[in-house]
Structure 1
Amino acid sequence: MTDFVAKVNAFVREQALFTPGDGVLIGCSGGPDSLALALYLAAVQKEFRITAGLAYVHHHLRAAADTEVEFVRALARDLRLPFYRLDADVPQAVRMTGESVETAARELRYRALEKLREQEGYTLLAVAHHADDQAETVLHHVLRGTGLTGLGGMRARNGSIVRPFLGVTRAEIETYLTHFPYTPCLDETNTDTTYLRNALRHEVLPYLAQYNPRIREHLVQLATTAAADDEYLDHVIADVLTRITHREAETIAVSRDAFNDLPNALQRRVVRKLWREESGTTLSFAHTERLVAWFATGATSTEQTLYGLTAVLTATDAWLAPQAADVAETAAVTQTAQDPLTLGDVRVRIRTLAEGETAPWVIPARVLTGPLTLRYRRAGDRIPFPFGTKKLSDYFIDSKVPRRCRDSVVLLADDRHVYAAFDYFTLHDFSGVATVNDRPERLVIDVQRRTNNASEYRQNTGD
């Protein structure tokens, strides 16, 4: 047994990543890290009494992926492991949602792997993130803005996802690979510093290392400490919620007196946990602060709706319930009207794009089958995209939108198609959408969201 295998085995046992009888699906791109993970897990199957399989996700972004998938297929054959090829059309997802390539690829990859894991009966999905990845993740979270949970970085185990290599470095993995006759695949995009993750790896961290050569090690230590503190506070909050809340059907009541007696740190976590569990959304710092102050001092009978969850204050409690899908609240407007559309906390103004103007979101009038409308979902709703349409219901399922929230998602739609589900997607690519009229104009969609003042809206440039 090499020192590397012994070190990873110790980490796996310390984190209790495997249970005898587990089936472990390995996400493998053929790169150094996932190649090493496949070799390691194939070697320790008997020791941990697990079984393993290899899966490659083809993102349809690079020609080299065709070679990589065959490399992983051959590797699986050598290791006598089942092999699975998955396809994720990242370019199409980017056109549909306006997300970055990085974000779309990550979301589709995990979604595809998780679906395969469930279909094939594997209990765990193993990915090859290591200590250097952890340092980059923590720094990324700091740059983006984060709290204690984000400082904890990636967890060794998160639901069905396990990360056996989180306790070893990239250099240790590369040394381990020298014991095998395989040449890993190299993704040329990993050196492209226009991607933030690559810029952190190749530019920012080396720069910081000039001031502290142990910066990566210290970021990993920060993640370890923060994750432990975060886990402890989660247990505390679970106990707090049993004391200060009670549930009636789909409604939760939070005692305002008990809430006000909590330290501010716990108040924040109560609000964030309630919204995450009931709406599936992680609140921003600004939203959290707004709700904490309102829970504590808001006037009786006032209400706020955020991410499909409505809260109403009484003298004694804050009541939380899924936002009602009131069909009568649906609003419609012709494309030339000056008045905005308003539904829930969404307000939309529609105008014609001026000559020479650029705007974040534009819909060509030639694809519209009727007036644009803000409404909630209806049976048969479909999303148009190049080469076909997709059922809105399937999108909600694939995106894991909580069932209780689906009826309260605000949509922008015409008679035939849904062009936006606010907080989830806005459609930006209309190249494959059928032309249904000869209108030449392009329509600017200006989106605003309600602020903490119920009568005020703020501009949203990238919903």
Structure 2
Amino acid sequence: MDLAKTVKAYIQERELIKAGDLVLLAVSGGVDSMTMAHILLLWQKELGYTLAIANFNHHLRPEAEEEGRFVAEFARRRRLPFFLGGEDIAALARGGNIQEVARRERYAYLRALLARLGGDAIAVAHHRDDQAETVLLHLLRGSGLTGLAAMAEKDGKLIRPLLGVSREQIAAYAAEQGIEYREDASNASVKYLRNRIRIELLPRLADYNPRIAESLCATADICRAEDELLDDLAENALAELWINDDNALNKSGFDQLPLALQRRVARKAFTMIMGDQRQLDFAQAESVLRLRDEQEAQLPGGLKAYVRGNIYFAAAKPPLPSYTGAYPLLIDGLWHRLADWGWEYRAAEKQDAAYAGGFSLVVPADICAGLTWRTRQSGMSVPSAGKKGRRKLKDIFIDNHIPVHQRGGWPLLTAAEEIIWICGLWQKEVRPTLKPILIQVRICDKISE
């Protein structure tokens, strides 16, 4: 089967183009894009799609203007709509990564043009050897499955009809068909890492594996399938863990996820807030995973992640809530809310009260008249058998793993200035009594953030 038929079968098997589609061809004038244009023109009538051609001038080489005219003439002779775009990439890059800026601006132009035309797909001429180079490029820079998956044959409205064929096959077909093209001299420069991979590294690797390009492409296919699976799992996990009203992830559920899903869920949460153009890199995602109670991490775009029970995303971490007030103990068998502390209690004679969960304490009835609910104040402590004879509340909270944000509203039952009970954590020894009062305390809702 010749190359044109191979590409046709690839398009049909992967449903890259449908009948009625308007396909915008990104044509630089080089052998790859010119061959793609020839082949897609060949099957245009049979497969029922229409074509338009776009060329983008990066203004990095003087030859680019002539190449644009060459592509324009190719389109004119075949009565195809032609569009020319361009940007001063050197000025935009300003000492940054010129290739990255060039790619960003080129694709931005193509996507905007496709939207203006009401088109269905942008066809680019990446082939199997480009795929192998991309895998190695990502591997050298450090990458997970997403990077090693490299390029997909279809990525949204971007399609790659030549991804299943090699550079050698394309060059042979162009020579056989007499396809005219322009040679980009910068492709031979080892100034750029991708070129060095193509010119120097891949030939060396071929000494170890003559089919290295095919092997790397197979690796990309395997990684892409597994990456898509993990991505679906992460989407489901995000939907389950996201607390929309709070812009937060449920931390207890998040902590139960495998590490690979934690990283993806953190990245997806960030992108959901900041938009698709913003991504967390590996180090930034790891900074979210390392957060502990009351710690925060600075993320791109002025966003912060911080832990306060859950994992919150906001422009700034708010101060810890402050809880004040003193409330006398009421013994009436009814549930009473303790202001905005997030707790409620009831007290009744022991024989009349059924257990309702939470924390409980039995005290003599004759001391209840002076009991009051309070929250922690600076310097509070309780008696201890240790050397100092006193133990700070802070140490009790730490030893019992109570999160910082919950400590300020933790109920304390006091008699005058003396602490009788730190709910569920410590209690003063009280004498037995014939008339016990059962005090029960439970969480009634979340503590204010």
Q: CA deviation at 1:269?
A: 1.2
In structure 2, distance between residues paired with 1:322 and 1:111 = 29
Instruction: Give the residue type in structure 2 aligned to 1:131.
Output: R
Q: Is the 8 A contact 2:288 2:305 kept in 1?
A: no
Equivalences for residues 119-158 of structure 1 within 5 A: 119-158=116-155
Structure 2 contact 287–297 (Cα < 8 Å) conserved:
no
Residue of 202, 217, 228 corresponding to 2:225: 228
Please give the secondary structure, in 1, of the residue aligned with 2:305. Answer: strand
Aligned residue number for residue 311 of structure 1 = 305
SS at match of 2:266: helix
Indicate if the aligned counterparts of 1:88 and 1:112 stay in contact, CA closer than 8 A: no
Which residue in the other structure is 1:289 paired with?
A: 286
Q: What's the counterpart of residue 41 of structure 2?
A: 42
Residue deviations 1:272-308 (CA, integer Å, cap 9, x gap): 22223323432222222221122xxx11x43333113
One-letter amino acid of the counterpart of residue 306, structure 2? V
SS of equivalent residue, structure 2 residue 244 = strand
Query: Would the alpha carbon gap of residues 20 and 244 (structure 1) be closer, same or farther in structure 2, given more than 3 Å must change?
Result: same
Shift of 1:78: 2.6
Q: Letter of the aligned partner of 1:158 in structure 2?
A: D
In structure 1, give the amino acid aligned to 2:165.
Answer: V
Matches within 5 A, 1:169-188: 169-188=166-185
After superposition, residues 363-374 of structure 1 pair within 5 angstroms as none
- What letter matches 2:170 in structure 1? I
Aligned to 1:373: none
Structure 1 counterpart of 2:77: 78
How far apart are 1:323 and its partner, in Å?
5.9
Q: Which residue of 2 aligns with 1:100?
A: 97
**d(CA) in 1 for partners of 2:88, 2:132:** 29
Structure 1 stretch displaced more, 70-79 or 140-149: 70-79
Superposition pairs of residues 60-459 of structure 1, within 5 angstroms: 60-95=59-94, 98-248=95-245, 251-279=246-274, 280-294=277-291, 298-299=292-293, 301-308=294-301, 309-315=303-309, 317-321=310-314
Partner residue, 1:439: none
Task: Please say if residues 127 and 161 of structure 1, whose CA atoms lie closer than 8 Å, have aligned partners that are also in contact.
Answer: yes
TM-score of the pair, normalised by structure 2: 0.67
For 1:323 and 1:158, locate their aligned partners in 2 and report how far apart those are by CA, in whole Å.
Answer: 35
Is the 2:11–2:161 Cα contact (8 Å) retained in structure 1? yes
Change (3 A) 1:27 1:322: farther
User: Displacement, 1:41?
Assistant: 1.4
Q: Distance in 2 between matches of 1:302 and 1:66?
A: 54
Distance in 2, matches of 1:253 and 1:106, equals 34
Query: Partner letter of residue 80 of structure 1?
Result: R
Q: What's the RMSD between the two structures over aligned residues?
A: 1.8
From the CA coordinates, give the structure whose radius of gyration is larger: 2
Answer yes or no: is the 8 Å Cα contact 1:26–1:127 preserved in 2.
yes
CA distance in 2, matches of 1:155, 1:321: 34
Structure 1: unaligned runs, 5 residues or longer: 325-463
Contact 2:242 2:249 in 1 (8 A): yes
In structure 2, C-alpha distance between the alignment counterparts of 1:94 and 1:71, rounded to whole Å? 27
User: Aligned partners of 2:30 and 2:283: how far apart in 1?
Assistant: 39
Q: Deviations over 1:242-265 (max 9, x none)?
A: 2122312xx522111111111111
Q: CA-to-partner distance for each residue in 1:201-251, whole Å, 9 max, x for gaps?
A: 000111111122111111111001101111111111111112122312xx5
Unpaired stretches in structure 2, ≥5 consecutive residues = 318-449
Does structure 1 conserve the Cα–Cα contact (< 8 Å) formed by 2:251 and 2:311?
A: yes
Partner of residue 333, structure 2: none
Secondary structure in 2 aligned to 1:210? helix
> Secondary structure of 1:222's match?
helix
Shift of 1:322: 5.2
Specify the code of the residue in structure 2 equivalent to 1:70.
Answer: R
Find the residue that maps to 1:318 and give its secondary structure. Answer: strand
Q: Percent identical across equivalent pairs?
A: 40
